[in-house]
């Protein structure tokens, strides 16, 4: 008992010593509440979060008003709970606020009409987002508010605001391709997207809108005009990268170029974040302040530094709006806005607090962003960098010296780029492995060249091009910018081609990622020595990779594609043509670049003799178990008698008591893709439906309710 009291007292003293850092944990608590909400298997009643939050806040106010000796204990217990409940309530309210009809089944070919709200240029097509949608043979109350349609071929000129008609096919947003994979249905739900599809033939503009209605439509038109002006002067991948840097639209970048950029560790250069927004704000601040300083009467009479800060803030907001407000841009804009506000108010900006401020605002307004890779990567990198540079700043204060010479400044800059790359890469590595299942091995080498080129060459020319576009004089800065982009792409291609440039890893357990995040936050947000306890959590999270065991059998939701794990860890696919997207997802989640071959579907045995097939189905022997795969009902009677696991591409309508587990066409329709592990005496099965639960964004849950 005495040791427990001493431990509690020591923890209390440590917390009291770092009271100035408590505020930094507010977004962490909000994120914990949001994570708890999304982890639930079913939708809680809407009153739950707000009611519990109100009760906790009432308890805090009552304790403060009472003012007895238990006040501190009560507040200390209820305040963290209130922060967590704030995140939980925000997620609930956001889910209810964005609720809209979602397609439950495939429709079409059918006539579709709607108003264009966004146009994305792809390498060989366009992707139109339509709202105010009407679909033939679909009741208005069941019609999605917005859909996204892919169009190809020769098309008329269309712009955001135009009303169009087309003939095409619409489908529900697709569910994850495997249990635990990226959930496009959830993302679409929070974006208000109730269907996706494609068009047959051309699009007809029935109601062109000359003057866009509203700020959002005008902004989309401005983004399209900027993209068109860039493509008028530049070509190919260079134009696509320039469009991505100025408008945030990356869909036009050819897949091989995008793969090189990712695998060389340069993908962050395309995510409009702190680097880009900071450069734009810094350039405008320097030009405005320097220009005003040349006019002595203005410089001596007026606060030109504050004027420059306001101009920089306006430029940063304009750039963020042009880029489409992605999460990294929001984070950078909020942080830079706080720093510029500090300049205007003659205050000093607090870097780590600005991160906490930005995270809190984003999480409360868009709680679903917590689950996105862009939010996690952006904030992980920034928190780690600020924590490291806080230590560097303290070290430099203790070791003051004369101003460095120009050669020393150059070395310091290159050292800063190297340190930034190493720290950011280490901080984002767990999220890169969790979401993308690979690590770039030579990111440091690529960034040492690409970051200075982007900072001192590409982005200044980008700002100049934007400023000169209204005058029609953007050709020269775009041409100079293009040369810099070509340098960056050449670096990406060269580094991505080095041996061992990419380390592919299997999907990380969610518990391992959470442990790593908790350890990293503990290490970065505290300042005292006890922060190094976070290293233990990080080690535990990294060690979870050793416990990863990919599924032995995977079945997609249409029973059209299956995969078996071979003895050497590869995947044997039932087809290399069917559902290529699911195939690629399965390979990436298994940490593989390529599959191990195709099944002998029409008869024959696999190379190791474990798989035998005939026209009716296949029998696979693995881990002491027999798995029967039936393509039709003819083989089911025998499979039910002899197999431990039966997978049927058709519904099983007969009694099948023998197998440990059966998975038929009905199971796949109701619960989506399935994964099976053969673990000795046990057979473990997971499905997309089980992972999604009965949530509003799950089309599978709707199917189970309507069956």
C-alpha 675 chain-centroid distance:
24
Measure Cα distances from 99 to 96, 102, 174, 190, 193 in Å.
5, 9, 18, 8, 10
pLDDT at 367: 95
β-pair type (562-565, 553-555): antiparallel
Pick the most confident of 188-197, 413-422, 565-574. Answer: 188-197
Secondary structure element (H or E) that encloses residue 146, with its range: strand 146-151
Closest CA to 254 of 94, 121, 95, 58: 121
Closest CA to 190 of 96, 329, 68: 96
Helix or strand or coil: residue 543?
Answer: helix
- Round to whole Å and give the CA distance between 419 and 427: 12
pLDDT at 517: 95
Whether 514 and 376 have beta carbons less than 8 Å apart is answered as no
Which has the higher per-residue pLDDT, 440 or 609? 440
The partner residues of 663 in beta bridges, in order of sequence, read 647
Q: What is the mean pLDDT of residues 577-599?
A: 82
pLDDT 10s digits, 81-117: 999 999 999 999 999 999 999 998 899 799 999 999 8
Q: Which residue has the tokens 């809680």?
A: 44
- Round to whole Å and give the CA distance between 87 and 68: 30
Least confident piece of the model among 51-60, 493-502, 649-658: 649-658
β-pair type (553-555, 502-504): unpaired
On the 0-12 / 13-18 / 19+ scale of CB atoms within 10 A, 559 is buried
Cβ neighbours of 92 (radius 10 Å): 23
Whether 634 and 616 have beta carbons less than 8 Å apart is answered as yes
The partner residues of 625 in beta bridges, in order of sequence, read 622
Measure Cα distances from 362 to 30, 445, 448, 469 in Å.
11, 33, 31, 32
pLDDT at 115: 92
Q: Which residue has the tokens 């401005």?
A: 222
Kindly list the domain boundaries of the chain, sorted by start residue. 2-97, 107-210, 240-503, 510-547, 553-706
Please determine, for residue 15, whether its predicted confidence score (pLDDT) is greater than 80. no
Secondary structure element (H or E) that encloses residue 282, with its range: helix 274-293
Tabulate helix, strand, coil % of the chain (nearest 5). Answer: 55, 15, 30
pTM: 0.89
Q: How confident is the model at residue 596 (pLDDT cuts 50, 70, 90)?
A: low
Q: What is the mean pLDDT of residues 241-265?
A: 89
Please determine, for residue 13, whether its predicted confidence score (pLDDT) is greater than 80. no
pLDDT 10s digits, 449-474: 898 898 889 988 988 998 899 888 99
- Domain 107-210 in CATH 2.40.50? The answer is yes
pLDDT at 617: 85
C-alpha 48 chain-centroid distance:
28
Task: Tell me the pLDDT of the chain averaged across its residues.
Answer: 86
**CA dihedral of residues 99, 104, 106, 109 (deg, nearest 10):** -60
Please determine, for residue 402, whether its predicted confidence score (pLDDT) is greater than 80. no
- Round to whole Å and give the CA distance between 397 and 408: 18
């Amino acid at each position: 008992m005495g040791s427990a009291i001493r431990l509690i007292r020591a923890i209390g003293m440590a917390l009291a010593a770092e009271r100035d850092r408590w505020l930094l944990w507010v977004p962490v608590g909000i994120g914990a509440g949001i994570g708890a909400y999304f982890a639930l298997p079913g939708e809680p009643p809407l009153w739950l979060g707000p009611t519990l939050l109100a009760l906790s806040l009432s308890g805090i106010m009552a304790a403060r008003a009472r003012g007895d000796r238990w006040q501190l204990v009560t507040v200390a217990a209820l305040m963290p709970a209130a922060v967590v409940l704030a995140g939980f309530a925000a997620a609930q309210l956001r889910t209810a606020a964005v609720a809209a009809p979602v397609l439950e089944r495939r429709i079409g070919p059918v006539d579709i009409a709607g108003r264009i709200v966004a146009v994305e240029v792809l390498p060989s097509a366009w992707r139109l987002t339509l709202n105010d949608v009407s679909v033939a043979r679909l009741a208005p109350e069941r019609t999605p508010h917005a859909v996204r349609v892919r169009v190809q071929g020769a098309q008329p000129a269309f712009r955001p605001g135009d009303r169009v008609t087309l003939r095409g096919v619409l489908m529900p947003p697709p569910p994850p391709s495997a249990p635990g994979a990226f959930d496009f249905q959830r993302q679409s739900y929070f974006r208000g997207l109730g269907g996706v599809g494609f068009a047959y033939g051309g699009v007809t503009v029935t109601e062109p809108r000359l003057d866009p209605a509203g700020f959002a439509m005008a902004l989309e038109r401005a983004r399209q005009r900027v993209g068109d002006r860039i493509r008028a002067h530049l070509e190919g991948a260079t134009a696509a990268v320039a469009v991505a840097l100025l408008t945030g639209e990356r869909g036009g970048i050819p897949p091989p170029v995008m793969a090189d950029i990712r695998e060389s560790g340069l993908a962050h250069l395309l995510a409009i974040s702190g680097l880009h927004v900071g450069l734009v704000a810094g350039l405008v601040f320097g030009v405005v302040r320097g220009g005003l300083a040349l006019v002595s009467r203005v410089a001596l009479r007026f606060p030109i530094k504050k004027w420059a800060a306001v101009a920089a803030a306006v430029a940063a907001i304009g750039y963020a709006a042009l880029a489409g407000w992605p999460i990294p841009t929001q984070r950078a804009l909020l942080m830079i806005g706080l720093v510029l506000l500090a300049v205007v108010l003659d205050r000093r900006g607090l870097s780590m607090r600005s991160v906490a401020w930005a995270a809190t605002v984003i999480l409360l307004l868009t709680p679903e962003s917590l689950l996105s890779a862009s939010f996690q990567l952006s904030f992980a990198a920034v928190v780690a960098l600020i924590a490291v540079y806080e230590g560097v700043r303290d070290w430099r204060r203790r070791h003051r010296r004369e101003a460095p010479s120009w050669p020393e400044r150059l070395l310091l800059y290159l050292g800063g780029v190297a340190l930034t790359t190493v720290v950011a890469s280490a901080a984002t590595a767990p999220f890169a492995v969790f979401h993308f299942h690979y690590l770039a091995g030579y990111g440091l080498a690529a960034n040492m060249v690409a970051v200075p080129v982007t900072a001192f060459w590409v982005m200044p020319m980008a700002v100049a091009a934007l400023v000169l576009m209204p005058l029609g004089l953007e050709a020269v800065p775009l041409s100079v910018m293009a040369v810099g982009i070509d340098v960056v792409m050449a670096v990406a291609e060269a580094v991505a081609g080095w041996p061992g440039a990419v380390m592919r890893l299997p999907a990380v357990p969610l518990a391992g990622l959470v442990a790593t995040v908790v350890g990293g936050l503990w290490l970065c947000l505290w300042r005292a020595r006890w922060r190094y306890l976070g290293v233990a959590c990080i080690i535990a999270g990294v060690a979870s990779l050793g416990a990863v065991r990919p599924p032995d059998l995977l079945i997609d939701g249409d029973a059209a594609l299956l995969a078996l794990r071979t003895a050497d860890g590869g995947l044997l696919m039932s087809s290399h043509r069917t559902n290529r997207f699911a195939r690629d997802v399965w390979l990436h989640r298994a940490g593989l670049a390529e599959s191990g071959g195709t099944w002998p579907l029409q008869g024959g045995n696999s190379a190791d003799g474990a798989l035998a097939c005939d026209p009716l189905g296949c029998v696979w022997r693995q881990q002491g178990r027999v798995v029967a795969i039936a393509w039709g009902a003819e083989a089911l009677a025998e499979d039910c008698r002899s197999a431990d696991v039966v997978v049927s591409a058709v519904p099983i309508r007969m009694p099948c008591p023998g197998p440990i587990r059966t998975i038929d066409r009905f199971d796949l329709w109701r619960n989506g893709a399935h994964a099976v592990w053969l673990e000795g005496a046990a057979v473990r099965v997971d499905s997309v439906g089980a992972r999604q639960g009965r949530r509003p964004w799950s089309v599978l849950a709707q199917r189970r309710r309507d069956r």
